[in-house]
Amino acid sequence: MSETGSEIGNVLYPVPDVAKAIEFYRDGLGLPLKFADGDRYAALNGGRTTFALAGPEEDVTGGKPAASFKVADVPAAIAQLQEAGATVLSPAAEGPHEIRAVLADPWGNAFVVYGPKP
């Protein structure tokens, strides 16, 4: 996506209990906690990609793990992706930390595009 510029910002895992998931991935795999937003969301250091845990309030993918792509312009990225064959599952909406949308690739795999709030 050359016009909008993107990178994998995180890999998102929906979990029913963020605190327990933090303990599991931190203690089991040694992933350091970057930050937690109560029982909504947590980010762990997965090296070059953040490993993100989404509680029920932040589960935007219907319980399915998904890659999240950070883009400079969410509406432009959505338009370009639709042109390439993506389907919008959840339109762009402002979340607590960014603007995000959920799309599916032509094979039905969900993914998230997100970017800064205006």
Q: Is residue 70 part of a domain?
A: yes
Residue length, the chain? 118
CATH number of residue 13's parent domain: 3.10.180.10
pTM: 0.85
Q: Is residue 1 part of a domain?
A: no
Q: Is residue 30 part of a domain?
A: yes
Each residue's pLDDT tens digit, 70-108: 999 999 999 999 999 999 999 999 988 899 999 999 999
Q: How many domains does the chain have?
A: 1
